[in-house]
């Protein structure tokens, strides 16, 4: 079985994920939602 490295497990979750429920609710109300998130910011390695 594949496992996730310790470093991978310690990565913080993407803050954009907090907005997903709001976007989904807006879509259900019939609002056009434009997803403008273009990727992760630079992460120090």
Burial class of residue 44, CB neighbours in 10 A (0-12, 13-18, 19+): exposed
pLDDT of residue 18: 87
pLDDT of residue 24: 95
Q: pLDDT by residue for the chain (45 residues), tens digit each? A: 899 999 989 998 888 888 899 999 999 999 999 988 766 666 666
| 26 within 8 A of 5, measured Cβ to Cβ | no
Domain regions of the chain by residue span: 1-44
């Amino acid at each position: 079985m594949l496992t996730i490295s310790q470093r991978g497990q310690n990565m913080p979750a993407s803050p954009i994920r907090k907005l997903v429920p709001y976007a989904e609710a807006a879509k259900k109300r019939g609002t056009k939602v434009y997803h403008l998130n273009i990727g992760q910011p630079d992460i120090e390695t």
